[in-house]
A and B are shown apart, each in its own frame.
Chain A
Amino acid sequence: MADVVQERTRHGGAASQPTEVQTGPPPHRRWRKPPYLLVAPAVFVLVAVFVVPMLTLAEFSLHRFTDGVSSPGRTLGEWSSFLGDGFQWRLIRNSIWFGALTTICCLLLGYPTALALHRLRTRWLAALCYFLLFSPLLTSVVARSYGWTLVLGDSGLVNSLLSGLTGATWPLLYNTPGVVIAMTHILLPFMVFPVLSSLRQIDDELSAAAADLGATPAARFRRVTLPLSLPGLVAGAQLCFALTISSFATPSLLGGGRVQVLATAMYDDVQNLNWPRAAVAAYVLLALALAAFTGFAAVQRRLLVGGRTR
C-alpha cells in the first residue's frame, strides 16, 4: 500500500503535483489530524460558554416583564420598547463615551510607557516595569476598587496632596473621573503590550536612515516610529474600548450610581428579575462591541494595506 501525500507550496496555497511516496505497509492506517479535531476543544468551549448562553438570552428577550413576572408568551415587545426608550439610548451613549474616554487615557499613558519600555536597556529595571504594569491584573477587582476608594477618597492620598496645593477637596470618587482613572489603571497593559509589539517590529535601520537624511528626533518619531506603530496602537485601543464598555464591577463600585452604563443597568435588571430587558441589553452591548471591533479592524486594515505603513 502506498500513501499519497499531497504537499502544498508555502506560497499562495496552490497545490503542487501530487508526489507519491512509497512508505511500505504500515502496521496501522496512518492517523490524520484533521483541523477540525484541533479546533474542537476551542469550539466546544465557545459553544458551551458563549453560543448556548446567547441562545438562552435570545429566548429570554422574547418575553415581557410586567408586574414583577415574565410573561410566558413570546413577543418582540421588549425589543421595541428598549430601542424606543430614550433612557436606554442614553445608557448606550454613556457606554460609548465611557469607553472612548478610558481608551484615550490608556492611549495617552500607554504609548509613552511602551516607548520607554522599548528603549529601556537595563534588564532588571525592565522586569520591574513589566511587573508594575501587570500588577493591576494580579489583584481582584474588589480589592483594587477598595484600594482606589482609599486613594481617591476625600481624605485619601490624592486629595491630601491636592488640597495641600489648592486648598480645596476634589471630588475624585463616585463619579466618572474616578471610574476612568481606575479603568485606565486596569487596562493599561492591554494598550502597552500591543504597542510594544509593534515597536519591536520596526527596523532600527529606518530611524537611523532618517537621521542620516537630517531628520530631527521629533521628525523621526512623527514620520517613522509613530506611523509604523499605529497598528499596535489601534489593536490596543480596540481591546481597551471593548473591555471598558462591558465592564461592570469598577463602574458599579467606584461610580457610586453616577456612572450609568449598559453593563450596570443589566445588573440591576437581573437583580430585579427583569431578565427580558437584561437580555435585550446584552445583545445591544454585543452589537456595540462588534461594531467597535469592525471599525477598529477596518482602520487597522487600512493602516496595514492602505499605504501609510507599508
Chain B
Amino acid sequence: MHDDTSPATQSTPLRTASTAVTRRSLLRGLGSLGALTLGATACGEVTAGGGSSGGGKKLDLTMFVFLGGNLGKMPKEFADEWKSSHPNVNLEIYEQSNQVGYPKMVAQKKTDPAKPLVNLGFFNAQTTEQGILDTMWAPLDYAAMKNVGDIRPECKRDDHIGIGIGNDQIGLVYNKEKLDTKPTSWQALWDPANRGKVTLFGFPWYAVFAAAKLGGGGLDNMEPGWKAWQENAENIRTLVTSNPQYLNVLASGSAPLTGYFNGTGNQWIADGAPLEYVPPAEGAISVPVNLQAVAGQSDSQLEACQEIIDAMLSPKWCSRWAETSVEVPANTKSNLPVELAKLPAFTQENVDRMLQVDYAVVGKNQSAWNDRWQRDIVARI
C-alpha cells in the first residue's frame, strides 16, 4: 500500500527558491520521484483477473464475453445489475472472440497461474474442450446452484466443467441477391457449381466434418471430407479473419455463400444484410455455449463466480441471452420470443435433426486438422 508518510516521500527533496538545485540533487530527486511513481503504480495496479483491489473491500472479477453482434448485450446488462445489487463486487467485462482471447488466457496462465486473465465467462464448446486439455477451468458445484435443476440435461456436463447457457448452431448463410440458387444441403459449399463463391472463417473444421459426414465418414474418419475439399478448394474465394470482414464479404457478394452460426447470421440479417440462414437438410451442427469459471483464482473469487454463473442461468437471464444471441435457451423455463421461435433454425424438425458433435474429439484434433487444412486445402485455393 502506498503511504503518504513513506520514506520515499520523505526523501523527495522539496527545495525552496533560495536553495540551489544541483545536478546531483536534481537526479536524486527525480530518482525518488520515479521510485515513488513505480511504487504507487504497483500498489494501484489491478490486473484483469487479480484478486487484490488494492486493499479495498471490493472483490474484482472479470468476465469473458463474446465480441461482435449483440453477443455482449446480455452479459453487460447482467453485470450492471449484479454490480448494483452486489456493491462489494466489481464485475468487469473482457470482450473478445474465443479464438483471439483464449491464447491470451493461456499466456497469462503460463506467466502467473494464480492471476488468471479472466475469472469466468462465455466459451464455445471447442474452447471448453481446449481448456480442459490446458486445465484452464475450475469445476462447478452443481449441487450448490439453484438454477441447475432447470437446465436441459444436454447442457450439463458429467465432469461439472462449466454448464451450458444456450445452444447455437452452424448451418448455411448466403446472400439472397447474389447467389442464384438457395442452398439446402451442406454439399453446396463444395459443389463445383459454386466455384469462387464460398467464404469461410479461419479454419472451418465443421465444413470438413460436414463433407466427411456426407461422404460416409465422421469425426473419427475425416478423410472423405478432406478429399471433397481438396477437389473443390477452388470454391473458396476468400478466408476471413474477423466478423466485420465476414459480413462485408458476404453482404457485398464477393463471396455470397458460407457455413456459419445461426445466431450471428440472424443478427446480421436483423441489421439489414441481404442474407438468409438455412439449416441444411442433413442437419445443422449443434454448438453449445458454456459458462466457465477459471482455475487458479482465490476461493472467494471462485465462490462469487459460481454465484454469478448460477444467476445467469436463471430463466430471466437465460431468456435474455437466447433473445440477443438468437440461440436455444438452456433453461427449460426460458422461452424464445415468438418472432425468433418462428425462425427456420428453431423449428422442431430442424432441432430434431441437428448433428451432435463430440467436441472433445474436435478439441484434441483441432491443431492437426488446422495444419492439414493449411497444407492440403488453403494451398489449393
Contact = CB atoms under 8 A, between A and B. Distances in A.
A68 B205 CA distance: 15
B182 interface: no
Interface string B224-260: 0000000000001111110001001000111000000
Contact of B24 (A28, A252, A265, A273): A28
Contacts of A173: 238, 254
Size band of the interface chain B makes with A: 20 to 34
Contact of A256 (B22, B239, B374): B239
A57 to B, nearest CB: 12
Contact of A268 (B130, B237, B370, B381): B370
A67 interface: yes
Contacts of B367: 65, 68, 272-274
A65 B364 CA distance: 11
B378 interface: yes
16 contacts: A67-B133, A67-B364, A68-B364, A68-B366, A87-B379, A153-B254, A174-B238, A252-B241, A253-B245, A256-B238, A256-B240, A257-B378, A260-B378, A272-B366, A273-B134, A274-B367
B238 A253 contact: no
B381 A154 contact: no
Interface in A238-269: 252-253, 256-258, 260, 265, 268
Interface in A83-99: 87, 90
B130 A273 contact: yes
B55 interface: no
Interface of A: 28, 31, 65, 67-69, 87, 90, 146, 149, 153-155, 173-174, 252-253, 256-258, 260, 265, 268, 270-274
Contact of A271 (B24, B103, B134, B379): B103
B193 interface: no
Given A65-B367, A273-B106, 19 more contacts: A67-B133, A68-B133, A68-B366, A146-B245, A146-B248, A154-B253, A154-B254, A155-B252, A173-B238, A174-B237, A256-B238, A257-B236, A257-B381, A268-B203, A271-B99, A271-B100, A272-B370, A273-B134, A273-B367
A272 B22 CA distance: 57
A87 B375 contact: yes
> Dominant SS at the B interface?
helix
Given A68-B363, A174-B238, A273 B103 contact: yes
Query: Interface SS of chain A: helix, strand, loop or mixed?
Result: loop
B23 A31 contact: yes
Contacts of A268: 203, 370, 374
Contacts of B378: 257-258, 260
A174 B252 CA distance: 14
Contacts of A256: 237-240, 381
A84 to B, nearest CB: 14
A270 B102 CA distance: 10
A220 B291 CA distance: 73
B283 to A, nearest CB: 26
A108 B38 CA distance: 50
Interface string B199-241: 0001100000000000000000000000000000000111111
B130 A257 contact: no
A265 B203 CA distance: 12
B312 to A, nearest CB: 27
B310 to A, nearest CB: 30
B238 A257 contact: yes
Contacts of B202: 271
Nearest to A278: B103
A257 B201 CA distance: 10
A126 B135 CA distance: 60
Nearest to A85: B375
Contact of A260 (B252, B365, B379): B379
Interface in B57-113: 99-100, 103, 106
A273 B98 CA distance: 12
Contacts of A265: 374
